[in-house]
Amino acid sequence: MSLSLQKSSETVSVKWSASHISNNLTINRSSESRRSTMYGVSHKSGFTMVTVSEDGTKRIQGQVICRVMNNNNASAPEIDARFTVYVIQAAFVNLPIRNLLVLACTKSIQIYELDGTTNLHIHMLDKNHSNKTESSIYSRGIAGIGQNLLCVGNHQGEILVFNISPKGTNIFLKETIHGHQYGITYLVSNANLLISSDTSGTILIRNIRTMSQINTIPSIDESGVTSLSIWNNCIVASYANGMIRLFDPENAQICGSIAAHARCINAIDCNEQGLLASVGDDCFVRIWKLTGDAENLQVKYYFV
C-alpha cells in the first residue's frame, strides 16, 4: 500500500523557543480518559506546553519553571547563578497508576503532575562521586516501567528507579542500577525490556521484572547514542555521527543500518506500523519504512 505524506493545515505553537538539545519534544497523546493531546518542549530552566482538544478548537498554554535548590536541599533564590538548573530532557510519562511530567535536569530530577501545576518530588543528584568521564552533573533518559516505577539515568551511568504512589507526594528512590561506565543518554522500555544507552555508544538490555542485564551491545565506532526506540522486537538506535542502527535484543547482533544524516541525529521515533522518523543537525527530517523483523529486516526510504 502506498503512503501519502502531506503537511498538516494546522500548526501547534508554544510560547517559548526550544533549546538545542536532543529529544526536545514530548507528546502526551489523546486517550479515552483524556480527550486532548499535550505537546511540550524545554528551554533553559523551563518547560512550555500546549494542550490541544481533539477537534483543535481549544488550546491551553502552560509553563513550568524548574525549582532552584541549594546545597542543603532548600529553596534558593532564582537569581543565584550558583544553583541555576537547566532542563536536559523532559517527558510525559504514563504509568498505569498515574500520569506524570518528569524534568531531567542539571543537579536534580523534578517530578510534577501531568499538567505541571504541582511539584511532587525533587531528587538532588549526588555531587560527591562524579564520574571521571563526565565533567558535569546531569540527569538524562526517562522511562516508566511496570505499574508504578519511574527510571531516570544520570551522568554517572546509573539508572535511578523511583517508586510512584497513586496519589500525593509519597515518591521515593527505590534502587540504583549500575552498569554503564559513561553518562546515560536515553532510556526506552516495553512490556519486557528496559534499554539504556550512553555517551560512548554502549547499549544495555535489561529484564524489567528482575532488572538483571541480559545483553550488551558494545560501542561500534565510539559515537554516542542520541536516541532509542523499539519496533517489532528490534532496537532502533540513532548516533551522533548520523547513523541509525537496528539490533536484535535476543542476541545483540546488528540487523540493519542506515546512513541517515550528515550530522548528529537529535531524535528518532518509530510507530507500530514501522514508520521511522529522524531529525538531525543537518536540518533534515527523514522518514523510513521498516518491514519484516530482526531476522528479515527491510528498510525503504520514504520522505526527506
Q: Is 249 a domain residue?
A: yes
- Per the domain annotation, does 49 fall within a domain? no
Taking the model in full, what pTM does it have? Answer: 0.92
64, part of any domain: no
Q: How far apart are CA 43 and CA 275, in angstroms?
A: 28
47 part of a folded domain: no
**Would you give the DSSP letter of residue 220?**
S
| 56-60, 77-81, 277-281: which is most confident | 277-281
Question: Does the residue 247 lie in any domain?
Answer: yes
**Hey, what's the cell of 286?**
527523514
User: Using one digit for the tens of pLDDT, what is the confidence trace for 125-180?
Assistant: 987 765 666 678 999 999 999 999 999 999 999 999 999 999 999 999 999 999 99
H-only helix segments in the chain = none
**pLDDT over 50 (residue 1):** no
Classify strands 253-259 and 265-270 as parallel, antiparallel or unpaired: unpaired
Domain assignment present for residue 268? The answer is: yes
| Domain assignment of residue 218, yes or no | no
* Phi, psi for 133 (deg, rounded to 5): -85, -10
Q: What is the rounded CA–CA span in Å between residue 262 and residue 125?
A: 35
What are the strands of the beta sheet with 285-291, ordered from one edge? 265-270, 275-280, 285-291, 298-303
Q: Is the CB of residue 129 less than 8 Å from the CB of residue 156?
A: yes
CA distance 127 to 162: 19
Percentage of the chain modeled with pLDDT above 90 = 79
Range of the domain at 285: 223-304
Average pLDDT over residues 174-193: 97
